[in-house]
Amino acid sequence: YIYFFSRKENKEKFMKNPIKYIRQPKPKPAVPIKIVIVGPPKSGKTTVAKKFASVYGLLRLSVGDAIRLVLNNQPETELALMLKRHLHKGLTVPDELAVQALDVALMNHVCNTTGVVIDGYPVTRKQVNLLESARIIPVKIFELEMDAKEVFRRALLDKESTDRPPYPEHDSSQILAIKNSCYKQHIDAIRTYYKKEHQNWCVIDAFQSKWWIWNKVLQEVQVVVKEIQIYLERIKEGKAAGIADLCITPKELQYRLGEFGQYCPVSLAEKGELVDCSVTSSLQFAAEFRGHYYKMASQEELDKFLSRPEVYVPPLAPHPLPSPDRLPKKLTAAEVKALFPTSAEMQGYCPVTYLDGKQRYEALVPGNIEYAAKYQDKVYIFESEEKLLKFMRLPEKYWNLKLPRKLPPVKEPIPLTALPLAGYLEQATTSLIKALNEVGCLKPKFPFLSVKKTALLFIACHLKAHNPRSSEAARQTYRRKLAQFMEHCQLVPYLGAAMAGPYRELPRRPLGFDCRLQTFLSL
């Protein structure tokens, strides 16, 4: 065999002990990767892309690079002529032509053997659609997140740098502001699309150092590459393999779902439970086996499926998935009302609470219309979401229950307006509660009035001072009255403390004493 080495030192090491290096485990299949780095200006996109190119030999490609490649290497093609036509007129190259140029550039042998890192593209939703139509789907998209303040700070530092190129750059504050504004305008839609369709979006904090960012991006890429390598190996051997990082779209998932749809085959086989995994779009616990996709409830079920998938799928699966008409279906409150005159089973009592409570009288709890389900053309209402999920997993256990003869009395709701005044205020507003709380804490006593009358006057003033339906001027007036009322209430404890002891002449009396005494006597 002939062996090739990256450096002369490696060749010499091999010559000294070839058996050591020949007997090592066979390397995993090489996976050409396609990653994208986007972010606002000055966020470090090009730095990370160039690092991938220099360290791992990936092709760094921007849209400008792709257009130049077509113009320089294929000048007579129809695409190159169309590009020249726009550029000679001083026009921007349309997105359609730019994506075509990018598609041509991706035919480079480096892209098909090592991989490519696309720098700063796409930046609009239209460009995303064009990339999708050209089947240019990156395995990972990294968004370098940074605010506008940091963009301008880095731009100023770059202007002070001595490494600037001899030609003028488009990095004035006005141009950067426009670029950043356009980026912020479109990035939310792009992020939402890729998160929903391919689940390959990763946000990186661009405030960190370039070494931290590089390590974080590299770590994410290594995880994806490892997952793809394991997937290829296991599928080649006829085993089940995880599909978490394969950028599978919801449409493709639906098309290739196995016999159990989005129900967990492991939970159905081992516990007889119908665990619906469609509540989450994540493929973290999904796997492929014999060309079909299966979703599991958790990592534990996924590990079991990967180790012995054949026992959980037909023909060895112990329990087949029931037919669609025998599967429970969640209902919203609006859907329950739309089914009128169909009434809820068990007169609206929660079947899960009743059965789990050993069918005792105390376990007859009315359900909440917000938590409802339909099973075998019957409607059931549950006490809580937890009870609803329990029914969805084991409908056969809870669906055919009979109520006892003796039922709890029907709780008739009392109209709010039928309550006495104090009860109405307590239930309808917090104003009375606050007033009662304050009067209990302050315990005021107005001079020459009883405690009861003082408390009633305080509550009256407090309600007027905090009435949300009154005007601000009216509330301010009663707040002043309330403050004056409290000042008068403080006169009794003040004078009691100040007048203790022998009689004192006018100069020896406390400041303001005579004024307060006159106020007290005037009341």
Domains of the chain: 33-154+171-224 (3.40.50.300), 238-321 (no CATH), 325-397 (no CATH), 421-500+509-522 (no CATH)
Average pLDDT over all residues of the chain: 90
pLDDT value of residue 173: 83
pLDDT value of residue 481: 94
Q: What is the DSSP letter of 409?
A: P
| 60 DSSP β-pair partners | 117
* Exposed / middle / buried, residue 448 (Cβ in 10 Å: 0-12, 13-18, 19+): exposed
What lies within 8 Å, CB to CB, of 356 at 6+ separation is 363
User: What does the alpha-carbon distance between residue 57 and residue 105 come to, in Å, rounded to a whole number?
Assistant: 16
**Alpha-carbon dihedral sign for residues 96, 97, 102, 107:** positive
- Please count the other Cβ atoms lying within 10 Å of the Cβ belonging to residue 238: 10
Q: Give residue 120's region: left, alpha or beta (phi > 0; psi -120 to 50).
A: left
Task: Give CA separation, 494 vs 442, 451, 512, in Å.
Answer: 15, 17, 11
Tokens matching residue 64 = 């400008």
Report whether 45 contacts 144 (CB < 8 A): yes
pLDDT value of residue 154: 84
User: What does the alpha-carbon distance between residue 217 and residue 228 come to, in Å, rounded to a whole number?
Assistant: 17
pLDDT value of residue 162: 67
**Which residue has tokens 């359900």?**
367
pLDDT value of residue 501: 81
Tokens matching residue 16 = 């000294």
Task: Give CA separation, 422 vs 348, 436, 444, in Å.
Answer: 33, 11, 21
Which portions of the chain are predicted below pLDDT 70? Answer: 162, 165, 168, 425-426, 428-429
Tokens matching residue 390 = 């329990």
User: What does the alpha-carbon distance between residue 241 and residue 218 come to, in Å, rounded to a whole number?
Assistant: 23
Of residues 196, 40, 53, 219, the one with CA closest to residue 120: 40
